[in-house]
Amino acid sequence: MKRTVLITGGAGFIGSHVVRLFVKKYPEYRMVNLDKLSYAGNLENLKDIESQPNYRFIRADITDKVSIRNVFREFGVDSIIHLAAESHVDRSISSPMEFIQTNVIGTTNLLNAAVENWTGDFTGKVFYHISTDEVYGSLEDGGYFTEKTAYDPRSPYSASKAGSDHLVRAYHNTYGLPVLLSNCSNNYGPNQFPEKLIPLAINNILNEKSIPVYGKGENIRDWLFVEDHANAIDVIFHKGKKGETYNIGGNNEWKNIDLIRLLCRIMDEKLGRPPGDSEKLVTFVKDRAGHDLRYAIDSGKLKKELNWEPSVTFEQGLSKTVDWYLANQEWLQHVLTGDYEKYYETQYLSR
Q: Which residues bind ligand NAD (CB under 6 A)?
A: 8-9, 11-15, 35-38, 40-41, 61-63, 83-87, 102, 106, 130-132, 161, 184, 186-187, 193
As a whole number of angstroms, the distance between CA 348 and CA 351 comes to 6
- The 250-289 site mask, x for binding ligand TYD (CB under 6 A), equals ------x-------------------------------x-
H helix or E strand, kind and range, residue 115:
helix 107-118
Q: 244 exposed, middle or buried (CB, 10 Å; 0-12, 13-18, 19+)?
A: middle
When the beta carbons of 72 and 278 are compared against ligand NAD, the nearer one is: 72
Of 196, 231, 266, 282, the one binding ligand TYD by CB under 6 A? 196
**Active site (annotated) includes residue 26:** no
Decide: 214 and 286 in contact? Cβ < 8 Å: yes
As a whole number of angstroms, the distance between CA 327 and CA 238 comes to 34
**Active site (annotated) includes residue 157:** yes
CA distances from 238 to 81, 89, 137, 319, 331 (A): 12, 30, 29, 30, 32
Phi, psi of 296 (to 5 degrees): -155, 130
Of 6, 89, 111, 126, the one binding ligand TYD by CB under 6 A? 89
Tell the smallest beta-carbon distance from residue 321 to ligand TYD (Å).
Answer: 13
For strands 79-82 and 126-132, give the pairing.
parallel
Of 212, 262, 277, 326, the one binding ligand TYD by CB under 6 A? 212
Tell the smallest beta-carbon distance from residue 156 to ligand NAD (Å).
Answer: 13
Choose among ligand TYD, ligand NAD, none what residue 197 binds, the Cβ cut-off being 5 to 8 Å by kind. ligand TYD
Choose among ligand TYD, ligand NAD, none what residue 15 binds, the Cβ cut-off being 5 to 8 Å by kind. ligand NAD
Q: What angle do CA 338, 339, 345 make, to 5 degrees?
A: 120
**Active site (annotated) includes residue 98:** no
- The 27-66 site mask, x for binding ligand TYD (CB under 6 A), equals ----------------------------------------
Catalytic option among 35, 61, 78, 134: 134
Measuring CA to CA, which residue among 298, 57, 261 is closest to residue 184?
298
**Catalytic sites, residue numbers:** 133-134, 157
